[in-house]
């Protein structure tokens, strides 16, 4: 499997580390709603098909990425920088 880093170009899987499901939205830190936190921390859609997930190019530019990958075929259909306050970039 190779991931095309938007900053470094196509690189081997070993250069990247996985950080899981990218579709979850972190609840407001002031929230004390146990159901909301449980859903964020523990519940996963775990789809057989398209999956949006965080990877970090830890062996390269160290940018955090959002990769759209098919969990049945490993085919990657989109890679973009993960959104963050500093860059303000949108997810793919």
Partner 1 sequence: MAEYSAWQVLKNAWRGNTGWKPAWRKPDPKPDYDVVIIGGGGHGLSTAYYLAKNHGIANVAVCEKGWLGSGNIGRNTTIVRSNYLLQGNTPFYEHSMKLWENLSHELNFNVMFSQRGIINLCHTPAQMDDTARRGNAMRLMGVDARMLTPEELGRRMPGLDLSPNARFPILGGLEQPRAGTARHDAVAWGYARAADRRGVDLLENCEVIGFLRDGDRIAGVRTTRGEIRAKKVAVCVAGSTGAGMKLAGIDRLPIESHVLQAFVSESLKPLLDTVVTFGAGHLYISQSDKGGLVFGGDIDGYNTYAQRGNLPIVEDVMAEAVTLFPAAAKVRLLRSWGGIMDMSMDGSPIIATGPLPGMYLNCGWCYGGFKATPASGWCFAHTIAKDEPHPLNEAYSLDRFHRGYVIDEKGQGATPWKH
Q: Is 30 in the site for partner 1 (CB under 8 A)?
A: no
Q: Is 46 in the site for partner 1 (CB under 8 A)?
A: yes
List of residues 6+ apart from 42 with CB closer than 8 A: none
Residue 54 contacts residue 64 (beta carbons within 8 Å): yes
Cα 47 to the center of its chain, rounded Å: 14
Q: Is 29 in the site for partner 1 (CB under 8 A)?
A: no
Token pair 């989109």 in the structure block, residue: 78
Token pair 């990425």 in the structure block, residue: 65
Judged by CB under 8 A, the chain residues 62 through 91 that form the site for partner 1 are 69, 71-74
Among 1, 4, 89, 91, binds partner 1 (CB under 8 A): 1
Binding residues for partner 1 (CB under 8 A): 1, 12-14, 18, 20-21, 34-35, 38-39, 41-48, 51, 53, 69, 71-74
């Amino acid at each position: 499997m190779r991931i095309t880093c938007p900053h470094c170009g196509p690189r081997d899987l070993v250069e990247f580390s996985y950080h899981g499901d990218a579709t979850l939205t972190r609840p407001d830190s002031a929230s004390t709603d146990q159901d909301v936190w449980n859903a964020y921390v523990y519940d996963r859609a775990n789809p057989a098909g398209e999956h949006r997930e965080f990877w970090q190019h830890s062996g390269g530019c160290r940018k955090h990425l959002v990769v759209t990958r098919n969990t049945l075929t490993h085919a990657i259909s989109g890679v973009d920088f993960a959104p963050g306050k500093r860059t303000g970039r949108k997810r793919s």
